[in-house]
Amino acid sequence: MGAEKLDNSLAQTLRLLRRIKGHRGTLLATLVAMVVAAIAEIAPIGLAKAAIDVLFPNQGAEATAVQKWCAEVGSSFAAFFGYALDDVRPAALVFITVGLVLLGIVSAAATYANTFFGRYLSALIVVDLRCSLMDKILDLPVAFYTKRKVGDLVSRFSTDVQITYNAVRIFLLILVLQPLIFALALLVALNLNWRLTLVTLIVGPFIVLPLAIIGKKVRKRSRQSLVSLGESMEAINQALSGLRVIKAFRAEKLESARYREVNRRWLKRQSSLIRAKAAGRGIMDVVYGITLALIMGAGGWLTINEMWGLNASTFMAFLIAMATAYRPLRRISVAYNDWQESMAATARVFEIIDREVEVPDVPGAISIGPIVDSISFDRVSFSYLDEDGSSIPVLRDLSFEIACGTTVALVGPSGAGKSTIADLLFRFHEPCAGRITFDNHPATEITRESLLSQMAVVSQRPFLFNTTIRENIAYGRIDASDSEIEAAAKAAHIHELIIGLPEGYDTLVGERGASLSGGQLQRVTIARAILKDASFLILDEATSSLDTESERTVQEALKNLLKGRTALVIAHRLSTIVDADKILVIEEGRLVEEGNHAELIQVQGVYARLYQSQDKVGMDA
């Protein structure tokens, strides 16, 4: 199971690294810098042995190659300046000192290059990952978001992606470099004394096995901690979005208690993660202590008894080699747990990226222009799936037609399926049975792009982006000229208000259009729909949340919007649709009445009861 987790982590990391497009030269530079840095880390072992051999030679022993080289080169330098070299040790000390300085410079340059290129590549990967995640978020079907919490998605965008940056950084700067240093140090140790090296490697399994077990726990607990962090983000999002409601109901203490409970769960899971990571570091320290004791005991005894070819310089160099090998092992053990923690975040990011997007256009799908005939529902049924997978019927065997150039109103009690009809027209969902046609072409055989280009919507809750009024109006047509934007604003009865603002059309509307009133927001969205010049409009209870005066102004704007267009109006206030060409009455997902206002009033059915009840409420008010 641990090996499977490791393979999965490696696969995910390599998948991240494949995102380095057009930067293979930078990756190569990083790898070269790693090799140089690893060699620079190992080189002091050789210098230490040389120093001991030259500065503290064995009396009567044959001169080593290093001693001979130092004597020859030192004598040449001394002769050049007119001196005789009686003792090779001062010259050797100079050479070793200079060598250490040069080695330090090379090591610093290699470390700088490795760190810079490694972090730069990590940043490149994260930028590409963020863009891919955004693309997928925008491409996923609307149904995906009905059961998703906004806070969890925001957490994946921010926290999880940032932790993924750490995963790439750890892999490039530690999990590749440090094993290379360990391997080189081990090679040096084998070269110095292979027997003692093999004895030392006995403790290897006591490092690898606990590391794999703890790494598995770290990944699992990290994922649990990230889920709790997503819950915390969702709690913040809920509190900020519903701040007015919270204050109106004096529920500050209740929301504070809820948030504390969410963070208590996060703390519990985070403490479990911290314990697992701390255990890994503790195990490494124990193993290091045992290894050092083994080397000192066995190596010292062998050196004293001059066995296995060990002498003082070789033993000291061996000790330095093993200490050099331990440092990367310790770094690897810490980094491995951090890497596994990061992989949990990476898995959450890829979980979104790997989701199926909206069904693509079928082969041979056609493009349509403006609606010239009709839009029809032919025995359409639709059901939602609840959390346990059971089907909840919303529309049942629904058939009706919207003729080109007419305004058709949908009325009915809440939950009757009116908004679902609009979602089906936009193809946010697909019917479970029956079919929808545009000019006698099945919706499934029309390209989404051409279909949506002919549609515009004005909804009950208008949404504006936190940018200028000009950009919000031109959102559906970013190439629109200033004169076209202003003409749309005039038709929506919002132009005079806009030019009265200090910045005019360049005024920022604020978060969700906070600087504008409800009626003003709605008129800006109407101007946006007018500018798009779509042939089919959907008005989803566009005036239901407005006061009487604002509704009157918006209704005037809507008249300009509806001229010469086909429209479906989802109505809450029935007084706003008495002039509709046709009214469809929906109840429990079925079409129960159809006709114009006068005809339906005469029938004295569902519509008449709804209209008369609203009319009575208006008279009482």
Q: Can you give the pLDDT at residue 243? A: 65
d(CA 166, CA 155): 16
CATH number at 290 reads 1.20.1560.10
Closest among 423, 372, 366 to 566, alpha carbons compared: 372
List the domain range (segments joined by +) for residue 44.
Answer: 2-353
Binned at pLDDT 50, 70 and 90, residue 436 comes out as: very high
- Domain stops at, among 330, 353, 376: 353
Domain identity same for 346 and 271: yes
Place of tokens 């019917």: 431
pLDDT in tens, 589-605: 899 989 998 888 888 88
Is residue 225's pLDDT more than 80? no
Domain identity same for 157 and 265: yes
Is residue 175's pLDDT more than 90? no
Q: Can you give the pLDDT at residue 26? A: 81
* Strands of 341-390, DSSP E: 374-385
- Domain stops at, among 353, 383, 413: 353
Domain identity same for 409 and 269: no
d(CA 87, CA 91): 8
Domain membership of residue 148 (yes or no) is yes
Binned at pLDDT 50, 70 and 90, residue 252 comes out as: confident
Higher pLDDT, 429 or 289: 429
d(CA 259, CA 237): 11
Range 327-355 average pLDDT: 80
Contact yes or no for 38/181 (Cβ under 8 A): yes
DSSP state at residue 576: G
Q: Can you give the pLDDT at residue 377? A: 92
Range 211-224 average pLDDT: 69
Kindly report which listed range (10-19, 208-217, 391-400, 565-574) carries the lowest average pLDDT score: 208-217
d(CA 107, CA 113): 10
Contact yes or no for 436/380 (Cβ under 8 A): yes
- Torsion angle of the four alpha carbons 546, 548, 552, 555, in this order, in degrees rounded to the nearest 10: 40
Is residue 522's pLDDT more than 90? no
Q: Can you give the pLDDT at residue 509? A: 81
Strands 536-540 and 590-595: unpaired
Binned at pLDDT 50, 70 and 90, residue 241 comes out as: low
Q: Can you give the pLDDT at residue 584? A: 92
Helix 24-55 / helix 177-192 crossing angle, nearest 10 deg: 30
Strands 582-587 and 590-595: antiparallel
Q: Can you give the pLDDT at residue 389? A: 66
Range 28-39 average pLDDT: 85
Range 462-476 average pLDDT: 83
**Angle at alpha carbon of residue 288, lines to 283 and 289, rounded to 5°:** 100
C-alpha distance from residue 146 to each of 308, 341, 427, 448, 528 (Å): 72, 29, 15, 21, 26
Q: Can you give the pLDDT at residue 332? A: 78
What's the structural domain count of the chain?
2
Domain membership of residue 511 (yes or no) is no
pLDDT in tens, 611-621: 887 665 444 44
Which residues neighbour 35 within 8 Å (Cβ) at sequence distance 6 or greater? Answer: 180
- Domain stops at, among 325, 353, 381: 353
Binned at pLDDT 50, 70 and 90, residue 379 comes out as: very high
Is residue 480's pLDDT more than 90? no
Maximum average pLDDT range among 85-99, 183-197, 400-414? 400-414
Q: Can you give the pLDDT at residue 1? A: 45
Is residue 380's pLDDT more than 90? yes
Domain membership of residue 206 (yes or no) is yes
Binned at pLDDT 50, 70 and 90, residue 92 comes out as: low
Domain identity same for 371 and 347: no
Domain identity same for 278 and 404: no
Higher pLDDT, 494 or 616: 494
Contact yes or no for 367/450 (Cβ under 8 A): yes
3-state secondary structure at position 272:
helix
Distance of CA 403 to the CA centre of its chain: 45
pLDDT in tens, 550-587: 667 767 777 777 777 888 988 877 877 888 899 999 98
Q: Can you give the pLDDT at residue 467? A: 82
Domain membership of residue 65 (yes or no) is yes
Domain membership of residue 459 (yes or no) is no
Phi-psi region of 454 (alpha: psi -120 to 50; beta: other; left: phi over 0): alpha
Range 212-229 average pLDDT: 70
User: What is the chain's mean pLDDT, rounded?
Assistant: 78
Domain identity same for 112 and 206: yes
Is residue 325's pLDDT more than 60? yes
Domain membership of residue 195 (yes or no) is yes
Is residue 420's pLDDT more than 50? yes
CATH number at 371 reads 3.40.50.300
Q: Can you give the pLDDT at residue 205? A: 65
C-alpha distance from residue 312 to each of 57, 290, 315, 506 (Å): 10, 22, 5, 80
Q: Can you give the pLDDT at residue 619? A: 41
Domain identity same for 299 and 447: no
Q: Can you give the pLDDT at residue 582? A: 92
Contact yes or no for 92/55 (Cβ under 8 A): yes
Domain identity same for 293 and 380: no
- Let me know how long the chain is: 621
List, as one string, the DSSP characters of 377-435. EEEEEEEEE-TTS-EEEEEEEEEEEEETT-EEEEE-STTSSHHHHHHHHTTSS--SEEE
Tell me what percent of the residues of the chain surpass a pLDDT of 70.
80
Binned at pLDDT 50, 70 and 90, residue 76 comes out as: low
Domain identity same for 47 and 11: yes
Higher pLDDT, 546 or 132: 132
Q: Can you give the pLDDT at residue 361? A: 79
Strands 455-459 and 582-587: unpaired
Domain identity same for 264 and 404: no
Domain membership of residue 562 (yes or no) is no
Q: Can you give the pLDDT at residue 437? A: 93
Kindly report which listed range (24-38, 243-257, 379-393, 604-618) carries the lowest average pLDDT score: 243-257
Higher pLDDT, 251 or 154: 154
Domain membership of residue 173 (yes or no) is yes
Q: Can you give the pLDDT at residue 620? A: 44
Domain identity same for 345 and 426: no
d(CA 58, CA 605): 115
C-alpha distance from residue 83 to each of 71, 167, 600 (Å): 14, 59, 122
Range 148-176 average pLDDT: 79
pLDDT in tens, 534-550: 888 888 766 655 556 66
Domain identity same for 331 and 404: no
Q: Can you give the pLDDT at residue 401? A: 92
Is residue 516's pLDDT more than 70? yes
